[in-house]
Structure 1
Amino acid sequence: MSQDLYTVLGVARDADGDAIKKAYRRLARQLHPDVNPDPETQERFKEVSRAYEVLSDPQKRAAYDRGGDPFGGAGGFGGQGAGFSFTDIMDAFFGGAQGGAAAGRGPRPRTRRGQDALIRLEVDLSEAAFGATRELKVDTAVTCETCHGDGAAPGSRPVPCETCHGAGEVAHVQRSFLGEIRTLRPCAACRGFGSIIPEPCRECSGDGRVRSRRTLSIKIPAGVDTGTRVQLSEQGEVGPGGGPAGDLYVEIHVADHPTFRRHGNDLQCTVSIPMTAAALGTTLELPTLEADVVSGDGADTDLETSFDLEVRPGTQSGTEQVLRGRGVPGLRGTGRGDLVVTILVETPTRLDGRQEELLAELAALRGEEAPDGNVKATQKSVFGRLRDAFNAH
């Protein structure tokens, strides 16, 4: 170690850890054997790696600054005390976590947040339009009442893992031309938890949770539609080790209605009337969507259950009447859609003798005994009119 390690990395003696790490990354990118395979560059890379190993470790750096041997007398890049973490090289090229390149991740916690859950709920059109409260049975993971989520049988508790001594990780060392490369892997004995449950709870088999069916009350907001999801916070799956529960999402599916069809916030319905009613005009009594709410238990009986629809004389089949504000309320209270009523005129198919006489007399009075169909010529296009004008000349 004849050359000054600070000079090898090109940093000042009072450089902090970040400056040392940045210098090492820069040099490692330039000198790595994969980039420059010549022997001289490899030796230079070893010197840089050894300098970084010392200066990135506070204890070794302090020993070096005092004039001691940071390798404890072993000496040499590949000696007994030498070696650097494989994470150091990865940090040089990809940038590792702050706070020490060789730092491990430590034991992973047994307690983790549970997964979100999704269920589908079918509701009536009136419930989707005006809102409702429904009771919902769900089957999810809940905290084990026997062990209260810690996974250990009553009277016992987890103990530190003897293999990794509670670290949750074990080191694996391999020798290469770079020296000893040390990697950290999750401990197989404790699966990375750092502790072992010697007597798992019989109820949950050490998981800290069991499956259970429970009943929830869900409030369906007014204006939801098929595909809308209602979120119930912390009502999903309880996490392992009694961890916090995820969220429960209820996806709404609106059932078909016998009278109304929904299009956005508008409602549509079709009404059939006789030919005579279309000719003379009439008044129809139509049900409202609120009628479904009134028919339910404990519903507001002050709601309007029907309304009068005026059909003007001479109404043609396919005529639409738009009734403002009789549709579905907006999901966030943004007004209310319309009701579109389509009128279909029914032509009688079976007539007795007297009815035929009366219709024939009406046709005679209107001069419609032999109608010509009132065929109209198709409007010519612009190009057709230009072509006719050109041919005329």
Structure 2
Amino acid sequence: MADHYETLGVSRDASPEEIKKAYRRLARELHPDVNPSEEASERFKGVTHAYDVLSDPEQRERYDLGGSGNPFSGGASGGFGFGDIFETFFGAAQQRSSGPRSRRERGQDALLRIEVELADVVFGVAREFEVDTAVVCPTCSGSCCAPGTQPVTCDICGGTGSIQRTVRSLLGNVMTSSPCGTCRGYGTVIPNPCPTCAGQGRVRAKRTVHVDVPSGVDTGLRLHLPGEGEAGPAGGPNGDLYLEVKVKHHDTFSRSGDDLLATLEVQMTDAVLGTTATLQGLDGEVSVEVKPGTQSADIVTVKDRGITRLRGGGRGDLKVGIQVVTPVRLNSKEQELMKQFAASRRPVPPEFSTFQQGLFAKLRDRFLNI
């Protein structure tokens, strides 16, 4: 008699799980429905007998002590028997029916993209927009039936939603279960479908969605609106709606995290003597102080005039980069005054700067490093 451990290809100290895996692997290879040869059939019988013995703790103990093992003494007690074989090869074999399935299903989630102004991001904004989606049918209210009618029990499956059949195999007769082809597993049929939704319980329509866009959102952020997605079939619950935000470009202001960035052009005289400029910001007037001796690419920071942070905790800053404008057209009097001013100062000849970048690159680097 062949050694059962050798038959399954496992060691004598193999765990029950290892024995089970070895048997499954060999059963898939040697089962008559897969390999009809006589040699495979004989090997399959030997493999099955070996597994029946080794999967049962008592039989395995007797076998290890020198006994032969009883091929008919409860081989399924090890947790894997004939039912597992047929589940492997026939899919739904020996599957117990769990009853008819429901027509009601959850609706699909939806993803939409919305654009918001940069000004709306400062404090957040309430928005309304229309979506073309699936909604509950107004005629049947999701029942799928014409008004005054209702589903009737399927006379093929008797309301169980499944058909059972007996399949003959090498190991005997096995009862299999499959969805009823008449009612598609629902257990009921709809003889009079709703004419509006054709028995789906939902129709396509436009509806208005309200959303509060929080402050601090940025391009690419997704907002989650539970239950605002498509209505499910047969009055099933709605899916969820996801809104992907895109912040529109602004001609004056840009953004760096929660800070707003802007460039302010000032005349040479204002840069020399200093001035205070009152400008229109995204959320009202803002005062920018230009100190005497300000240079191009200097940064003036206005505290707490940036974007309100997404999760609270105050606002960012407004950072204003200064660009000094040199006058290009001077009348004779202005030229004379400039000459007098130049003569009054110690002459400083022009020379190359060790800073090689242009003005705007310099502004950019200072914005990022502050």
State the secondary structure of the residue aligned to 1:126.
helix
TM norm structure 2 = 0.70
Q: Which digits, 9 at most, give the CA deviation of each residue in 1:237-284, with x for residues without a partner?
A: 110000111122233222223332111111111100111111121111
User: Partners in 1 of 2:354 and 2:244 — Cα distance?
Assistant: 53
Name the counterpart of 2:271: 278
Query: 1: CA distance between counterparts of 2:22 and 2:192?
Result: 52
Question: Does 2:107 correspond to 1:114?
Answer: yes
Is contact 2:105-2:236 (8 Å) kept? yes
Residue 131 in structure 1 maps to residue 124 in structure 2 = yes
Q: Deviations over 1:132-177 (max 9, x none)?
A: 2222222221111211211011122112233333333335666555
Match of 1:34 among 21, 29, 32: 29
Q: Which residue is equivalent to 1:170?
A: 163
Separation (CA, whole Å) in 2 of partners of 1:198 and 1:45: 52
Separation (CA, whole Å) in 2 of partners of 1:162 and 1:28: 42
Cα distance in 1 between the residues matched to 2:51 and 2:99: 25
Match status 1:151 vs 2:144: yes
1:88 and 2:71 matched: no
Contact kept, 8 Å, 2:228 with 2:240, in 1: the verdict is yes
Residue-by-residue CA offset, 1:51-79 (whole Å, 9 max, x unaligned):
9xxxxxxxxxxxxxxxxxxxxxxxxxxxx
Question: Take 2:329 and 2:96, find their aligned partners in 1: how far apart are those partners?
Answer: 92
For structure 2, list consecutive stretches of 5 or more residues without a partner in the other structure: 1-15, 32-38, 54-80, 356-370
SS at match of 2:261: strand
TM-aligned CA deviation for residue 214 of structure 1:
2.0
How far apart, CA to CA, are the structure 1 residues paired with 2:334 and 2:48? 111
Q: 1:362 is aligned with what amino acid?
A: F
Partner of 2:262: 269
Instruction: Give, in whole Å, the separation in 2 of the partners of 1:309 and 1:30.
Output: 78
Listed as ranges, the gaps of 5+ residues in structure 1 are 1-20, 52-84, 292-305, 379-393
Q: Distance in 2 between matches of 1:208 and 1:29?
A: 45
Go from structure 1 to structure 2 and tell me whether the alpha carbon gap of 1:272 and 1:248 turns closer, same or farther (over 3 Å shift). Answer: same
Map of 1:316 onto structure 2? 295
1:240 alignment partner in structure 2: 233
Deviation at 1:182, TM superposition (A): 5.9
Kindly indicate whether the alpha-carbon contact (under 8 Å) linking 2:110 and 2:230 is maintained by their aligned counterparts in 1: yes
Q: Contact 1:86–1:183 (CA<8 Å) still a contact in 2?
A: no
Kindly indicate whether the alpha-carbon contact (under 8 Å) linking 1:33 and 1:42 is maintained by their aligned counterparts in 2.
no
The alignment yields a C-alpha RMSD, in angstroms, of 3.6
Distance 1:224 1:354, change over 3 A: same
CA–CA distance in structure 1, aligned partners of residues 270 and 280 of structure 2: 19
CA distance in 2, matches of 1:175, 1:50: 21
In the comparison of the two structures, how many residue pairs are matched? 305
Query: What TM-score comes out, normalization by structure 1 length?
Result: 0.67
Deviations 1:75-112 (A, max 9, x none): xxxxxxxxxx996316579xx99xx9531354321001
Tell me if the contact between 1:132 and 1:221 (Cα under 8 Å) persists in the aligned partners. Answer: yes
